[in-house]
Structure 1
Amino acid sequence: MERKGLAARSSGNPSPPALGEGPRPVPPPCVPSGGGAPERGQAGTAAEPAELIRRAHEFKSQGAQCYKDKKFREAIGKYHRALLELKGLLPSQEERDARPASSAGVPKSSRLSEEQSKTVEAIEIDCYNSLAACLLQAELVNYERVKEYCLKVLKKEGENFKALYRSGVAFYHLGDYDKALYYLKEARTRQPTDTNVIRYIQLTEMKLSRCSQREKEAM
């Protein structure tokens, strides 16, 4: 009998109460840890989207004034502050691609109205374009960073003239003449008479011609 009781207990089946014992109390159901409601005041209060957008717009305006005053380093700081205010209001492209269609989570942008979403994207485009413009004013230009900012703009607004032109300039100075010519020609379709675009197209075509000539001579 003792062995049977041990086997029952070891297999997870409780043994019946002994003679004379009352019915055993039923154990309460398990509650998963962390499943309770959060205590009041546990979550921190975040700024409202409208306030974040207002602050971002203010920093962007300050950056524009610094740019006009030729204080390019200060302008870069202001534009970065503006982007920091907007961080998290809209999901990144990677997050949008990774989110399944049946996701139960609420998108970050769900708390923004359509008008607010457009405002956020417009501020982001202006800031990245302006950051590229500031970098191009430096004595030693970081063309890799210029390219990065311009491509961010083009992901959101593929026909943006400034981003197309500056992408072409960046690729030219990075030595990727094929891509430079592509972006410069795309820019020319938007503004056919822009002298800077025309000049860089001519420079790029000269570089490509020289590269082609060297390849022929090496054969």
Structure 2
Amino acid sequence: MTIKMASSPPSTSSPELEEGTSQEVVLAKLWERVTKAEEYKTNGNELYNSKDIRGAIGKYHRALLFIRGLDANLQRNSLWYQLGLGVGGGVENCDGGGGGAPSLTSLPEEMQKKVATVEQGCLNNLAACILLQEDPNYKRVISYCDRVLASSPGNPKALYRKGCSLYHLKSYEEAYDCLKKAQQISKSDPNIRKYLTMAKEKMENINNAQRTMYQGMFNKSSTQSDE
């Protein structure tokens, strides 16, 4: 009589990298993450266009999660766990042998560009979504825009949305400078021109009020008699 052994349940932990795993396998898994991120971004855009702002925000966050850790130099061990390839104690020291991650230390240029495009698009769109909310978190908008501007200083959408947020936070001079940069890139954008005019008016009102205050202080002191 043959006794059949019960098969063990599948492991839920990330498998260790098998000996001989090639860079092609790693690149394929990386491309899967980028493609999935692009899909979530596209879904977010569709929800945004249909005015489902909350749903769009969720999709953009999901897209960013899929490309988290995909930086140009691949120095994050956690990424290998995310890919289900195990960790070899530092990517830069791995040679592709058993128990270690392949010696892939940089993303292909095409992948870097796609990751940057997805990330910038999601961050910019998240900023746009927040600005449409009933009680916008302007500081968060600025944070998202700053992340875009760190890699793309001339991004007009990020400059505009940051400028709008600075305006609503009453940082009029900073808002004006930011919006002025945006206008130099998108000269015909009516929204940029509108907020630029509003920021300029606020700055002029503040300057006029300060001038009046100082003038009043001067007139008061000049009429006082010497002791």
In structure 2, the partner of 1:106 is 92
Distance 1:130 1:146 in 2: 10
Among 193, 202, 209, which residue is 1:198 paired with?
A: 193
C-alpha separation between the residues in 1 aligned to 2:17 and 2:34?
A: 22
Q: Which residue of 1 aligns with 2:87?
A: none
After the TM superposition, which parts of structure 1 deviate over 3 Å for at least 4 consecutive aligned residues? 41-47
Corresponding residue for residue 124 of structure 2? 129
Distance 1:49 1:111 in 2: 12
Shift of 1:195: 1.2
The answer to which structure, 1 or 2, has the higher relative contact order (CA under 8 A, 6+ apart) is: 2
After superposition, residues 108-187 of structure 1 pair within 5 angstroms as 110-187=105-182
SS in 2 for 1:110: coil
Provide structure 1 residue ranges, at least 5 long, that are not aligned to the other structure.
1-40, 96-103
Structure 1 residues 183 and 109: CA distance shift in structure 2, 3 A = farther
Q: Which amino acid aligns with 1:167?
A: K
Residue 91 of structure 1: how far off its partner (Å) = 6.0
Distance across 2 between alignment mates of 1:112 and 1:91: 5
Aligned position for 1:74: 55
Partner of 1:218: 213
Alignment RMSD (CA, Å): 2.6
CA contact (8 A) 1:89 1:109 kept: no
Shift of 1:194: 1.4
| Residue 35 of structure 2 is aligned to residue 49 of structure 1 | no
Deviation at 1:111, TM superposition (A): 4.2
Q: Name the structure 2 match of 1:87.
A: 68
Shift of 1:110: 2.6
TM-score by length of 1: 0.71
Q: CA deviation at 1:67?
A: 0.4
Letter in 1 for 2:92: V
Q: Report the Cα distance in structure 2 between the residues aligned to 1:133 and 1:43, rounded to whole angstroms.
A: 41
Once the two structures are TM-superposed, the CA of residue 73 in structure 1 deviates from its matched residue by 0.5
Summarize deviations over 1:52-87 as a string: whole Å, max 9, x none.
101111111110111011110110010001001111
SS of the equivalent of 1:106 reads helix
In 1, Cα distance between equivalents of 2:104 and 2:63: 18
Partner of 2:99: none
Take 1:111 and 1:187, find their aligned partners in 2: how far apart are those partners? 33
Letter aligned with residue 128 of structure 1? L
Q: Which residue of 1 aligns with 2:203?
A: 208
In 2: Cα distance, 1:162 partner to 1:146 partner: 12
2:192 and 2:148 mapped to 1: Cα distance?
18
Q: Is the 8 A contact 2:163 2:175 kept in 1?
A: yes
Paired positions, count: 169
State the distance in 1 between where 2:135 and 2:199 align. 21
User: What is the deviation of 1:43?
Assistant: 5.9
Higher-Rg member (1/2): 1
Give the share of equivalent positions with the same residue, in percent: 37
Normalised by the length of structure 2, the TM-score is 0.68
Which consecutive residues of structure 2, in runs of 5 or more, have no partner in the other structure?
A: 1-14, 77-89, 94-102, 215-227
Tell me, in whole angstroms, the C-alpha distance in 2 between the residues paired with 1:68 and 1:78: 13
